[in-house]
Amino acid sequence: MQPILEAIDVRKAYAQHVALDGVSLAIPEGSIFGLLGPNGAGKTSLIRIITQITAADEGEIRFRGQKLNPEHIAQIGYLPEERGLYKKMKVGEQLLYLARLRGLSRADATERIKNWLTRFDIKPWAEKNVEDLSKGMQQKVQFIATVLHEPSLIILDEPFSGFDPINANLIKDEILELRQRGATIIFSTHRMESVEEMCDSIALINRSRKVLDGTVTDIRDAFKTQTYVVEGKGRLMVVHPDFEVLEHKERENGFFQDRIRLHAGTTPNDLLRYLIGNVEVHAFREQIPSINEIFIRRVRETMPETLVELEENHR
């Protein structure tokens, strides 16, 4: 299937630094795509190129195979990290204005605004100025403004920062619903754990370069370490030729929790068989690396000099 958006060797430099250095991506149509990396990695720069706020110095962006051009604006919805609305403008008028700027007709926009406001329970507020709304309601309005023109590509920069938990869940449900209807969604965030369970594919960006991309499943498979977590009761052998105990925790009354890595050629069933013969097994599960762990591992391999700042950033 043709990707909805492709970035081909995109480069962008500002006066003092290089924001994007030869970044290439392909975002599959109908997926939820995570654009992940620490603050300052270049995510927002890439997004601003996709939304045509700025242009790339080199390289090209293709939207459904076409070179990106102003006609694509109507097909892209963008929720920037910096949220904002005209404070002294009525909610209804503001949504109408933003929708018309995205190419919607007055009649279509009015109809859809009505639907969305009803859906989000803020219809009575349509005639209120934005500044009179609570923060939560403003966030809903902002989200409506992003998706009102039914874009096929929705870009959400740090989507859940600034949203309270209730609204964050509401937005998550809406996003899944939009994907159901065929929209492609890009999440851009430095908090990888907040989106990893929603994403189908991701790209990891560090220091203006892409360090890794692919589907979440593929990436996880590639970074699996054959490590299993075992919980149970009894005494476990510390040394064994087929596997290695990475971590051993003694609990009260003979309970334990171990992390065990299999050596090459050993299957989980071999380990299980061994365990059953020696201890009482309560839990047995594969330890799957989080995207954050994968990211740090990948950075350690490819650009170790940035590790320190990465950890500071994450903290």
H helix intervals, 181-258: 216-222
Retrieve residue 44's tokens.
């927002």
Retrieve residue 206's tokens.
């560090």
- Supply the minimum distance, in Å, between the C-beta of residue 72 and another protein: 11
Q: Is 129 or 225 the residue whose CB approaches another protein more closely?
A: 129
Residues 106, 96: contact at Cβ < 8 Å? yes
Cα separation of 278 and 295, whole Å? 37
Largest Cα separation within the chain, whole Å, is: 74
- Supply the minimum distance, in Å, between the C-beta of residue 116 and another protein: 16
Retrieve residue 188's tokens.
């851009």
Retrieve residue 94's tokens.
């503001």
- Supply the minimum distance, in Å, between the C-beta of residue 109 and another protein: 12
Cβ-based burial of 235 (10 A; exposed 0-12, middle 13-18, buried ≥19):
exposed
Q: Is 76 or 212 the residue whose CB approaches another protein more closely?
A: 76
Q: Is 12 or 207 the residue whose CB approaches another protein more closely?
A: 12
Residue with tokens 């006066």: 15
- Supply the minimum distance, in Å, between the C-beta of residue 97 and another protein: 6
Q: Is 159 or 232 the residue whose CB approaches another protein more closely?
A: 159
Q: By CB under 8 A, name the binding residues for another protein.
A: 15, 48, 51-55, 57, 70, 73, 76, 78, 80, 82-89, 97-98, 100-102, 145
- Supply the minimum distance, in Å, between the C-beta of residue 7 and another protein: 17
Q: Is 90 or 259 the residue whose CB approaches another protein more closely?
A: 90
